[in-house]
Amino acid sequence: MTRHTDVVVVGGGQAELAAGYHLRRQGLEFVILDADPAPGGSWQHMWDSLHLFSPAEHSSLPGRVMPAQTGEVYPDAGHVADYLAGYEKRYDLPVQHGTRVEAVRRDGDRLLVEADSGPWHARAVMSATGTWSRPFLPAVPGREVFAGRQLHTVNYRSPADLAGLRVVVVGGGNSGAQIAADLALDGRAELTWVTSRPLRFLPDDIDGRALFDVATARRKALEAGRTDTGGVASLGDIVAVPPVRAARDAGLLRATAMFSRLTTDGVQWADGSRAAVDAVIWCTGFRPALSHLAPLNLRGARGHIPTTGTQALGEPRLHLLGYGDWTGPASATLIGVGRPARDAARQIAQLCARN
């Protein structure tokens, strides 16, 4: 039997919870369908040593400040997952865990949401499935013949799993730096860190607070018709969180240029030389998880769905939340998702009032 509601929110992480908070404040009826069997979003699946870039009080969802973690300036992933689970419980949000959405289709004046637990009719849909379930692996020659272990960021847990192995970490972003630092400080694996461009560390006093300020300045500049925000930090540079800083200052974080190909038992460098390798960790990013929206035929350049704010240009009943700056500045962060979630909830309330 098809169930009916004002809004179906797809996903169960930080963006979905912020959406639920604001949808309730708008007086709308809604349900959150989350494929994960437990609360906590993707944070419950992160590697053991991962910490936020920002202190707890600067990493909060609307309505409830994240409590500080005992003994930590920057909370770890487990603390964040517990905070999200507590947030869901505190606001009694209608989350159906273990429910996978397979497709969203147009059905007259409603959107039909096909889930493995049964269909829903909704006046609007908020998609906030993030990127964690779609890890990106680059088309590096030889990747299919390499006989060693290949992991992505999503598969990495701790150095203990790779003790005694010759490991190459690929990627010069924050995940690559943090995982390389994790392995380097542990010392049980023989580490090689490769990047496609020279390393760029932010100043040590720059953390997530400053990066959020940069994103906010960009948003205001764009709204005013300007492109130069005067920001001193690039959102693509490496944040020197304490473990990264410790490994760097100890001389343990040395990156080399990317290898040219994988071989059956290792890597080959641009000069033709080779090195034996037991495992490769691909810290090469993610793509937005949007396959459930394929029936709407909205994809544009780079796989993104064109939006104005969070609203899909080709389907005004659909809002996308938390995928990155293209769905709101800093919307993929805990503190940054609140504003676009609020704006999306207001637009949906106006839509429902007209229909």
Q: State how far the Cα of 341 lies from the Cα of 104, in Å rounded to an integer.
A: 20
Residues of the chain below pLDDT 50: 230-235
Q: Which long-range contacts (CB under 8 A, 24 or more apart) does 308-317 make?
A: 309/340, 309/343, 309/344, 309/347, 310/126, 310/340, 310/343, 310/344, 310/347, 311/344, 311/347, 315/106, 316/351, 317/111, 317/123, 317/124, 317/125, 317/351
Q: State how far the Cα of 340 lies from the Cα of 80, in Å rounded to an integer.
A: 20
Q: State how far the Cα of 22 lies from the Cα of 346, in Å rounded to an integer.
A: 8
Q: State how far the Cα of 12 lies from the Cα of 97, in Å rounded to an integer.
A: 8
pLDDT at 272: 96
Element (H, E) at 195: strand 190-195
| 3-133+287-354 and 149-201+238-282 share one fold | yes
pLDDT at 217: 59
pLDDT at 209: 61
Q: Are strands 315-320 and 311-312 parallel, antiparallel or unpaired?
A: antiparallel
Fold assignment, 3-133+287-354: FAD/NAD(P)-binding domain (3.50.50)
Check whether domain 149-201+238-282 has CATH 3.50.50.60, yes or no: yes
Query: How many CA within 13 A on the CB side of residue 232?
Result: 8
**3-class DSSP assignment, residue 80:** helix
pLDDT at 233: 46
Q: Where are the domains of the chain?
A: 3-133+287-354, 149-201+238-282
pLDDT at 223: 57
Which residue is listed with tokens 């972003």? 173
Is residue 113 within 8 Å of 127, Cβ to Cβ? no
Q: What percent of the chain has pLDDT over 90?
A: 78
Is residue 327 within 8 Å of 340, Cβ to Cβ? yes
Which residue is listed with tokens 């003994």? 71
DSSP string, 275-344: EE-SEEEE---B----GGGGGG----GGGPPPEETTEETTEEEEEE-SSSGGGSTTTTSTTTSHHHHHHH
Is residue 84 within 8 Å of 39, Cβ to Cβ? yes
Q: State how far the Cα of 112 lies from the Cα of 293, in Å rounded to an integer.
A: 11
**Which pTM was predicted?**
0.89
Is residue 125 within 8 Å of 104, Cβ to Cβ? yes
Quickly count: other Cβ atoms within 10 Å of residue 21's Cβ: 21
